[in-house]
Each structure stands twice: as C-alpha cells, then as structure tokens.
Amino acid sequence: MGNLSEKTAVDLVSALRAQEITPHDLLDALEQQIAAVEPAVNALPILCFDRARKNADRLLQRPVETRGILCGLPVPIKDLDDVAGVRTTFGSPDFASHIAPESCYMVEQLEAEGAVIYAKSNTPEFGAGGNTFNDVHGPTLNPRDTRLSVAGSSGGAAAALASGTAWLAQGSDNAGSLRSPASFCGIVGFRPTPGRVVRGPSVNPYQTLLSNGPMARNVQDVALFLDVMTSEDPRDPLSLPVPATPFLAAAQSRRNPGKVAFSPNLGITPVDPEIADICQRAAMQFEDMGVVVEQASPDFSGVHECYKTLRAFEFSLSMSHLPDDTLARLKPELAENLAIGRGLGFDDISRATQTRASIHQRVQVFFETYDLLLTPTTIVPPFPVEERFVQSCDGQVFSSYLDWLAIAYAVTLVSLPALSLPCGFTKTGMPVGLQMIGPARSEAAVLSYALVLEEALALDIGIVKPTQQVAAAVG
C-alpha cells in the first residue's frame, strides 16, 4: 500500500478488514516513523509497543468480522487517561513513575472496538494550559516549525497526527484543549457534546465542561473515530445513547447547512486580523454553494467570569483526592486556579450557574435561526514555545493564562459540539483552524457540513517532516 503513514484511517481499516495488511504492519510503520520524527517534536513520550503487539496477536486470533470497528488500527492515548500496565504521569513529577493498574472506561471502549494502543501523547500538567509542556517530558514542538507551540492540552496528539506518528488520536477538551492544538498543527479536532464519549472513573462524574473527542488528519477519519469512541455506559451517568446512523455515514451524506453565521470574535475577545480574515474567507465558501452566510453571534455576555468560576470549581473538585504535598508542587497557573476554586462561596457558584443558564437560553434561541456558527478556532497563530501562554492579542493585554482561549471556552460553557477544520495558512505558512459549532447534540450534522467545506477548500495538508531540534525548555 505504499507509505502507510500517509494513508487515511478509513482506508487502512478497509485494508485491515480485507486482510490485505495486519496490525503488525501498522505497528512496524509507526515504530519507523517515530524513530525518524519523534526526537524533533516530542509528541509521544511514552511507548508501549510490546503491549500493542500482544493485543494485536489476540485480535488476530478472532474472526475478522469480530475485531471491532477499527479492526486493529493503532491509536495513542493522552497521558491523562489510564491504560492498564502503562505509565500515566498526568505530566506531573509526582506521578512520573505511576503505572496504571486498570484502563479507564474510554480505553476499554476503544479496545473493545479493535483499537491497538501503542503510545501515550504529551500534555501539560493535569491538562491545564494552552501550551503543551511539563516537568516530566518537556515541551512538545510544532512539526511545522519546531520553534513554535502546539497549543494544549492535547498537543502531543495533534503533533503526532501532523508528523505521521498517528492516524487517529484521542484528545480531551475543556477550554479548547483539542481544538486549539488542531488549529496550530493543521489537523481536525472535534469536541463532541459531553456524554457522547464515555468518561471515568472519576471523583466528579457529573462535570460538564470536559469532553473527550477524536482527532485525525481529515473529517472522515474523525467521524470514524467518533463511532469508535461513542458508547452508552451505565458507569458514566452522562453517557448518551449510540445514534442509529453511524457518524461516518452521516458525514458522508454531505449535507449543506441552510443558514450559517460567522463571527470573528463572538463579541468577547480580540482576534489577530490575519486569522479573522482567513476564517471569514473560508466561511464564505458556503455562500458559493448557495448557503446564506451572515455575520452574527449569540450574546455571550457574562461568559468570562461564569466560565472561570465553574472551571475553577470543577478543577478543585476533580483534584481534591490528591495529597497536599502534591498540590503544593503544581505549576503556578494550576495552583492559582485551584486556590480560586477552593475559595469560592455559595454566591459565586450560584451567580455563575444562573449566568450559564441565561447564556444557554440565548444560544438556544440563536440556533433557531442558524444551523451552524463559524469562528476562528484560535485568536492567534502558533506562538513561540518558550512563552507559557498568550499574553496579548491585537493590542489587548490579558490578565490570566485562560483569557486567550475565550473563543473556545464560550462554546464549552454551553455544551455545544465544535469542530476545528484547517481552513488556510498565514503568510508565514502556519495553519489556521475554523471552529464549526452546531446546536446541542448535532455532531452528525456538524460532521456533514465539515466534510462539505473540507472538500470545497481542498487544502494541501499532509504529513509534515519536522527538522531535528533539541526540545526547548519552557520556564
């Protein structure tokens, strides 16, 4: 089949099912590609090929029709989620040698559908922050320019896809944690509705800001992986039923939206003018297809304080099981966030909850008029990896490490599905993502619209061959 690294996941699964190739062929190709590019990007710091080959052997002993949707396709897992017998460090020095005794529910689901797990992808400490670095594995560098950030927190997953060391990758998203890396690396990332992908076990199983989701190099591969990830599991109280029509089939229906809104900033954030222009030109592609495109946005008034309050509350709750000496050693941005969460009172949480309800209602009304909302995925192009976070944009100075992520976290707050699609390049050749947002639980429609737009844009985005460079330290 030629260079396997350059093939799509959909094509490779077809070849696996036809028994033209085996999972071992793919694992061999991955090892070769990792040896060639991983020193330059540091995307997959934990490898478990022995475990992967044993699982591949077990899979091959079964009839091909019982090998699950992926039929043996290898997949990496973000280093926040447990894979039995493999290190899970959370990017935290206190867990640098931690071996997971059991897999999380999501990993169980993936392996039940024929995923062969071979690596863990890099993430910032406990997934907090829009730049992928930590004191265990160091920073992940952008394959398109290794001086630059991959964003975060699913930065390792995005860099692996862009550099050909993964065909599919799992990410998670709170304040754009898989959407921002997708934009910076020129791949597709999809944050589905919370509950669409099973989560747990968790000390906070009812939280609604975090969502696991699929990442890949194109829309059809993302849709395939969402089919694999989706399951209704009684252990996860928020898990949703599996839809009757597979997401890949829904994407391939190639439906056009009836009416589209474009907003460069959602009325809540500055945006680099070049980013806004590239995204608007991409959005207007729908107009060439006969779709009405208007500049409009829901009213997100109050989103900043509301989101930051609820995020701090959920973070402090989800990390409440950690010992005090571990909490004392967290990176400063995360420690500050936890301190805010622990200091919240009833009035703070009540006010944020009521504001969230008001924004949700306004968004619901907005989507009675529009089928799709388009915005930039990130407000800036990739920034130097040495910078811990974006401190200003278009003349506006930010007050916290979260501020530059508002265009993503506004969507998170109201539990909408959102996909980042490569839509163009800056003058310096760095990719730009278009955020495609649908109404509640509209993953199938968003995937269909995204495939239509992907094919209309017809961008030449393939595997990047990064130049060798020693990983920079982030202070």
Q: What is the DSSP string of 386-412?
A: TSSS--EETTEEPSSTTGGGHHHHHHH
In a domain? residue 474: no
Contacts of 205 (CB under 8 A, 6+ apart): 199, 236, 237, 238
Tell me the two tokens of residue 260: 């589209």
In a domain? residue 405: yes
The CA-based angle 77-235-231, given to 5 degrees, is 60
Residues in the chain: 475
pLDDT at 426: 98
Whole-model pTM: value is 0.97
With H, G, I as helix, E, B as strand and everything else as coil, classify residue 338.
helix
pLDDT at 469: 43
Contacts of 444 (CB under 8 A, 6+ apart): 243, 245, 247, 250, 251
Given the residues 78, 120, 308, 331, the one annotated as active site: 78
With H, G, I as helix, E, B as strand and everything else as coil, classify residue 219.
helix
* Interatomic CA distance for residues 475 and 466, integer angstroms: 23
Order of strands, edge to edge, in the sheet holding 168-173? 168-173, 211-216, 188-191, 418-425, 431-437, 372-376, 259-262, 292-295
How many other CB atoms are there within 10 angstroms of residue 62's CB atom?
Answer: 12
Q: Long-range contacts made by residues 29-36, C-beta under 8 angstroms, separation at least 24?
A: 29/4, 29/5, 30/5, 30/74, 30/118, 30/165, 30/166, 33/5, 33/163, 33/164, 33/165, 34/119, 34/165
* Interatomic CA distance for residues 121 and 449, integer angstroms: 29
The CA-based angle 189-248-66, given to 5 degrees, is 110
Of the candidates 357, 347, 320, which has an alpha carbon nearest to the alpha carbon of residue 126?
A: 320
Given the residues 5, 149, 153, 318, the one annotated as active site: 153
Tell me the two tokens of residue 347: 């009035």
| Residues in the chain with pLDDT values less than 70 | 467-475
In a domain? residue 316: yes
pLDDT at 2: 79
Nearest-10 crossing angle of helices 303-318, 406-413: 70
What values do phi and psi take at 423, rounded to 5?
-130, 0
pLDDT at 474: 61
* Interatomic CA distance for residues 473 and 141, integer angstroms: 11
In a domain? residue 216: yes
Q: Are 85 and 99 in contact (CB under 8 A)?
A: yes
* Domain encompassing residue 292: 4-457
Please give the distance of CA 212 from its chain centroid, rounded to a whole number.
7
316 classed as catalytic: no
In a domain? residue 252: yes
177 classed as catalytic: yes
How many other CB atoms are there within 10 angstroms of residue 205's CB atom?
Answer: 13
* Interatomic CA distance for residues 55 and 50, integer angstroms: 9
Alpha helices in 21-104 (DSSP H): 23-41, 49-60
Given the residues 92, 163, 177, 263, the one annotated as active site: 177
In a domain? residue 473: no
The CA-based angle 381-387-392, given to 5 degrees, is 60
pLDDT at 468: 44
* Interatomic CA distance for residues 467 and 190, integer angstroms: 28
Rg (the chain; Cα; Å): 21
* Interatomic CA distance for residues 375 and 91, integer angstroms: 31
Q: Are 120 and 86 in contact (CB under 8 A)?
A: yes
78 classed as catalytic: yes
Torsional sign, CA 243, 202, 335, 182:
negative
pLDDT at 467: 60
In a domain? residue 92: yes
Assign residue 17 the CATH number of its domain: 3.90.1300.10
Q: How many domains does the chain have?
A: 1
In a domain? residue 38: yes
Query: pLDDT for 319-375, tens place per residue?
Result: 888 888 898 899 998 888 889 999 999 999 999 999 999 999 999 999 999 999 999
Tell me the two tokens of residue 380: 């800036």
